[in-house]
Structure 1
């Protein structure tokens, strides 16, 4: 079997793979997806993993409840870090990101100064979203955000950084009526990380399947040959992308996989 026979299956984590509310977890179909992937892996060569805004520590902590789940990689902190699951350890891919990130903290400090000078008011997100190549903020959706969004992109470009700005998902634990502002090392992101994995493993683009639920998944879903929103996807995500499976959470992932296997 050649690398071109490999399938790549990518899922967002919160509210796609696993509910944020633990009370919903038992009905999310995680065990069903585990069984499905184990069956598929007996017949096909495939890689399964997540592209998520969560940190690596958060993902690994949540997956302690599913020690036998057959995952292969975790593209964490909104695609700024990539980890591979080995039998005895989880190791970071030293080849990602493609550009060195040694000056990221200094650039963020310069950017913060520029934000203050321009009067851009952002709210810092929790510590989990302040990682080595990303800083997370919220921007109020007050009807005047278009000007601030343009300013943020312009100032990021000025200091050699990039911004991913999408409407936040209250279902995933974000506040209501805000934008999720991720200041990132250039060249990173969910889509960009998936592209790196595809190239690294010489996977045919026609064999890439992705799943998401919110606006920060849309770029990745549109770039994949087979991208799907799960049935519990947000209203805003559905307005931006219309390929939706019926099932919620992992039930939806299984629904999508059954279209191809």
Structure 2
């Protein structure tokens, strides 16, 4: 797939890869209010000098949402984008968008269909567990995103256990994390995201490590919320940026000293020390 009707600037794709760096998008790679353009440029300058480093975005957002923001902020496209909670994988090389069909085939081999998630939604509704569909993601082929409105801690945890058990019975992964109002989510809700059991942000990391035969000691990941924790634990060097949510910081103890891109850059610069 080629970009049409516009000039798109992509990072130079490395000919040989020794290091993998994965970053969440909203509130990690960039500030949702777009106030960190200088830090974005500083990180990109660093990455463009690293000829053996593969860098990409791993996000719950849709591809159109990510590309729209990159274009708006006039950012270079990274080497890859894994979108819709790590269920789709695209590479960017010499102005070309390349969809990873091998990764899709791996998901398809599970016999997954979107109706599996819809059946889970109905089953939970029958038990008075109401999930609100996040409309921006309804067209995602391998995932479905919801909001759950919190009640009280004890009742919420009981329902979360039911959600996880129902998903597991259908060979689905479910990620449940507190919403971040800074990215436009409702303050009194949780994100509840379903996808095939071999997918997810952590699965993307493992897939890329295997695909490019990367030494585990040379793997990095960065995030800001609870839905990034599995990805951070799937690499050797997984960090929350300093602006991460309180919930995420309770669940993961390695934190960068700075927010957003500045936090990412501060960790990567240690590699040469």
TM-score after normalising by structure 1: 0.90
Deviation at 1:215, TM superposition (A): 1.0
**Structure 2 unmatched runs, 5+:** 1-13
Distance 2:200 2:101 in 1: 16
1:99 aligns with 2:93: no
TM-score after normalising by structure 2: 0.86
Segment drifting more, 46-55 vs 150-159:
150-159
- Tell me the equivalent position of 1:248: 259
Of 129, 134, 140 in structure 2, the residue corresponding to residue 131 of structure 1 is 140
- Tell me the equivalent position of 2:41: 31
1:146 aligns with 2:157: yes
Give the secondary-structure state (helix, strand or coil) at the position aligned to 1:82: strand
Deviation at 1:160, TM superposition (A): 3.1
Segment drifting more, 86-95 vs 73-82:
86-95
Deviations 1:33-80 (A, max 9, x none): 111111223xxx110001111111111111114556261111111111
Give the secondary-structure state (helix, strand or coil) at the position aligned to 2:258: coil
**Structure 1 unmatched runs, 5+:** none
The answer on whether the counterparts of 1:54 and 1:129 sit within 8 Å (CA) in structure 2 is no
Higher relative contact order (CA 8 A, sep 6+): 1
Give the secondary-structure state (helix, strand or coil) at the position aligned to 1:227: strand
Of 210, 217, 230 in structure 1, the residue corresponding to residue 228 of structure 2 is 217
Give the secondary-structure state (helix, strand or coil) at the position aligned to 2:130: coil
RMSD of aligned Cα (Å): 2.1
Deviations 1:132-173 (A, max 9, x none): 111111112212111211111222233332211122222222
Deviations 1:188-223 (A, max 9, x none): 111111100000000011000111111111111122
Give the secondary-structure state (helix, strand or coil) at the position aligned to 1:256: helix
The answer on whether the counterparts of 2:225 and 2:245 sit within 8 Å (CA) in structure 1 is yes
The answer on whether the counterparts of 1:110 and 1:159 sit within 8 Å (CA) in structure 2 is no
1:47 aligns with 2:58: no
The answer on whether the counterparts of 2:205 and 2:234 sit within 8 Å (CA) in structure 1 is no
The answer on whether the counterparts of 2:206 and 2:234 sit within 8 Å (CA) in structure 1 is no
- CA change 1:122–1:84 in 2 (3 A) is same
- Tell me the equivalent position of 1:110: 119
Distance 2:147 2:75 in 1: 36
1:83 aligns with 2:90: yes
- Tell me the equivalent position of 2:212: 201
Distance 2:107 2:142 in 1: 11
Distance 1:68 1:141 in 2: 36
Segment drifting more, 108-117 vs 7-16:
108-117
Deviation at 1:96, TM superposition (A): 1.3
Distance 2:187 2:233 in 1: 25
Distance 1:235 1:154 in 2: 26
Deviation at 1:112, TM superposition (A): 2.5
The answer on whether the counterparts of 1:163 and 1:184 sit within 8 Å (CA) in structure 2 is yes
Distance 2:115 2:137 in 1: 20
